[in-house]
Amino acid sequence: MNYDYPELSAQHLADAKLYATRRDLMAALPVPRGGTVAEVGVELGIFSKFLVGELRPRSFHAFDLFNFHTKKIVWGQETRDLLRGMTHLDYYRSEMESIGSAFAIHEGLSQHTLREIPDYFFDMIYVDAGHSYDDVKADANLAARKVKPEGILVFNDYVLYDPFAKVEYGVVPVVNELVQNQGWKIVGFALQRHMFCDIAIAR
């Protein structure tokens, strides 16, 4: 990990608020109801359903590789049992069909699929896909273009190191670079019991 990334200062946090959980953060952010929302990295759809229920978007866009079914074990469970014998994509679609909101699924590497969306399209993008510096950087640069000028980006796992998987994360450097170099400001920060925190930024 290259630790030579920008340090934030008080001016970057002038409007920031602290929240106990990411759900509290999302409920408080000024994301217009009836807008357009994206989640980049949806896993099994648990947080997707929360986002739809809380933000009530006109359309919800789910980005993921949808490749869990190619792995034997996920989160310590047999993948076949976890997905009820379905492919990852079919499982996610079955979970989302009951939400009563229009949703679009984008299967593939987010650095490719997100590129296909028009610029300034989303009111909010929740970024939780690849966690290496290069992956986060690619997603962040695209998300910054795809969100409206008044839109919000939220990054999951604002932490340098995952002690469970024993891997370094690139979320902190990427977010700090956006804030320091591209005029974004932190508007919210959500705690998590293992410190896989969420951070929300806006222009």
Q: Which domains does the chain possess?
A: 10-202 (3.40.50.150)
Q: What is the pLDDT of residue 89?
A: 97
Low-confidence ranges of the chain (pLDDT < 50): none
Q: What is the pLDDT of residue 97?
A: 87
Q: Give me the DSSP letters along 13-24.
A: GTT-EEESSHHH
**Bridge-based pairing state of the strands 17-19 and 185-190:** parallel
Q: What is the dihedral of CA 172, 136, 179, 146, to 10 degrees?
A: -150
In degrees and rounded to multiples of 5, residue 56 shows phi and psi of 50, 55
Q: What is the pLDDT of residue 173?
A: 97
Q: What is the pLDDT of residue 2?
A: 64
Q: What is the pLDDT of residue 1?
A: 65
Rg (CA), the chain: 16
SS3 labels along 57-91: CCEEEEEECCCHHHCCEECCEEHHHHCCCCCHHHH
At 15, the amino acid letter reads D
